[in-house]
Amino acid sequence: MNPSGQSRSSSNSGSAERPNGRSQVLVAGIGMTPVGEHWDVSLRNLALDAMNAAMEDAGGLRPDALYVANMLAPALSGQSHLGALLADFAGLRGIEAATVEAAGASGGVATRQAYLAVASGAVEAALVLGVEKVTDKDSGQVEAALATATDADYEAIQGVTAGAQAALLMRRYLYEHGAPQYALAGFSLVAHENAVANPNAMYRKAISLEQYSKAPMVSDPLNTFDAAPMADGAAALILTRADARQHSQSRPAVEIAGSAVATAAMAAHDLTDPLGLPAGAASVQAALARAAVQTEQIDLFELHDRFSIFAALSLEAAGFAERGGGWLLAKQAEISLNGRIPICTYGGSKARGEPGAATGIYQLAEAASQLQGRAGKNQVSEASVALVQCLGGAGATAATHVLRRVSNGI
Amino acid sequence: METSRHWRLRQQRYALVGEVCPNCDLKIFPPRDICPDCGHEARTLFQFSGRGEVYSHTTVYQAPAGHTEGAPYPLAIVQLEEGPLVTAQLTDLADRPVEIGMPVEMVTRKLRSDGERGILVYGYKFRPRLPQGQPG
């Protein structure tokens, strides 16, 4: 414990209290496992690897609460009650622990719960873990489990899948905005390019437009390169107050400067404006307002490219493109590591892999790495502010965070 | 089996019964009891005509468990002529290409079967609107 604190922005020097009375919350440690088909690793061991990595990264800080982001364990592993299971398995027996579920947005929503607990002072150090184990079941069972995030009575009963829902939005988007057939290809191409140097990525291989154009359909017009592969993965964060951070850490600190969650109608057909991503827009506005950050100050945007159409919708909802203009950003000059607004800097869900509820934690860990300058070949130069957003379903839940570097020259 | 769960939805599945808001007259499907527009209680039943047009469509190749039998199958969001959007499979297409804006009408078809001993779930699908089904 370091009561004096040692990593503070100049505007906050001398106190960990923010002007609004809430404590400054730092990302003190991150841990990620490779995303992929881990036939030899169980749900709990995958989780343990990520939790151990995060605690070690935080200088051995022991958390007093665990927030688990998971959606599919009840359906695919016959396992609920992950809070107690994983706290105990990680050697943290006795601490407060529970699961947070908000479909694909679970990771971001769990992080917000941990953030609120730490900011309020009720919890000194929180461990947020996202874990998903999907490869023990066949693809039909995985599709059915994922479809429980749609309306069971009015969507899933009709044979709707997550991919079909995205395909319905994609076709309508291309139709309304007069976009060409391969308008979204660039999102997939840039994601694959960024995954090449990411040791945790599932597909570390660049792809060509020709490969994209020949890919088989998942749900037309959405092909396999528009869809992120569901895979096993676990990632973890340690959040703590600035004054509780371990003294041994010499790298720049990263704070959660803004945090917001918003919801919209869950069924795609119940959205007044199915292409508007209202929860995405509302959560971005709230998170930026809390951080006192303008869109122009954002150095990178970790968005949730579960399906390529959501990259376009997220860019529009966050204000990086006009309505209907998100697809025009699907090119290197705009979104690659040295583009105008880099996205999916470690490959995104498309190429890093999509570990469901853990996605939001991967995104935050990747963004924190960028702000600390430890992204290696994936480094976005002089990155100091990152916007991070994950989506549940067809955007029914959106969790958005603003991360900011707070020391070493800021 | 979930027999009671499907039975509870029989009016919606077989007859597209939704609601109308007594305050702002919004037509609501699926029923939700609280008007999403004005927040007024909306429990007045309203039967939709079953006519609409395709808002968007796709074909599902990677079907979930329970729907693999009929895969690949055409799926759409249909805009009902009274306003609401509804997600449903398309049927009776033969070789007809589907387009956004295509007029369709509701029919009752089998939605899924749960194995030899399971129940057959019936409900609405939409087919291209037949000439005699067109208004006026």
Where do the domains of chain A lie? 10-137+229-405
Question: What pLDDT does B1 receive?
Answer: 65
- How large is the ipTM? 0.95
Element (H, E) at A192: helix A185-195
Beta strands A233-241 and A385-392, pairing class: unpaired
Choose from B87, B108, B120 for mutation: most chain A CBs within 10 A.
Answer: B87
Range of the domain at B14: 3-131
- Average pLDDT on B102-106 reads 98
Q: How many angstroms separate the CA of residue B15 from the nearest CA in chain A?
A: 14
Question: What pLDDT does A98 receive?
Answer: 98
Answer yes or no: is B12 within a domain.
yes
Following CA atoms A150, A152, A155, A161 in sequence, which dihedral angle do they give, to the nearest 10 degrees? 50
Specify the higher pLDDT residue, B118 or A28: A28
Question: What pLDDT does A7 receive?
Answer: 39
CB contact under 8 A, B85 and A274: yes
- Looking at the predicted structure, is the pLDDT value of residue A326 above 50? yes
- Looking at the predicted structure, is the pLDDT value of residue A20 above 60? no
- Looking at the predicted structure, is the pLDDT value of residue A3 above 70? no
- Cα separation, A89 vs A338, in Å, equals 42
Percent of chain A's residues with pLDDT above 70: 92
Is the CB of residue A365 less than 8 Å from the CB of residue A372? Answer: no
> What would the pLDDT profile of A92-133 be if each residue is shown by its tens digit?
999 999 999 999 999 999 999 999 999 999 999 999 999 999
CB contact under 8 A, A158 and B89: yes
Answer yes or no: is B136 within a domain.
no
The vertex-A342 CA angle with A240 and A330, nearest 5°, equals 140
- Cα separation, B24 vs A117, in Å, equals 41
Nearest CA in chain A to B12: A154
- Cα separation, A403 vs A189, in Å, equals 26
Query: DSSP letter string over A127-187?
Result: EEEEEE--TTS-HHHHHHHHGGGS-TTTTGGGT--HHHHHHHHHHHHHHHTT--TTTTHHH
Specify the higher pLDDT residue, A2 or A179: A179
- Looking at the predicted structure, is the pLDDT value of residue A19 above 60? no
Overall pTM surpassing 0.90 (yes/no): yes
SS3 assignment, position A327: helix
Q: For chain B, how many structural domains are there in total?
A: 1
Comparing C-alpha atoms, which of A264, A228, A265, A178 is closest to residue A353? A228
Q: How confident is the model at residue B118 (pLDDT cuts 50, 70, 90)?
A: confident
Q: Select the CATH number that applies to the domain covering A10-137+229-405 from these four: 1.10.3720.10, 1.10.1040.10, 3.40.50.300, 3.40.47.10.
A: 3.40.47.10
> What would the pLDDT profile of A283-322 be if each residue is shown by its tens digit?
999 999 999 999 999 999 999 999 999 999 999 999 999 9
Bond before B72 cis per omega within 30 degrees? yes
Is the CB of residue A35 less than 8 Å from the CB of residue A191? Answer: no
CB contact under 8 A, B56 and A139: no
- Cα separation, B109 vs B121, in Å, equals 9
SS3 assignment, position A217: strand
- Average pLDDT on A335-354 reads 98
Average pLDDT, chain A: 93
> What would the pLDDT profile of B8-59 be if each residue is shown by its tens digit?
999 999 999 999 999 999 999 999 999 999 999 999 999 999 999 999 999 9
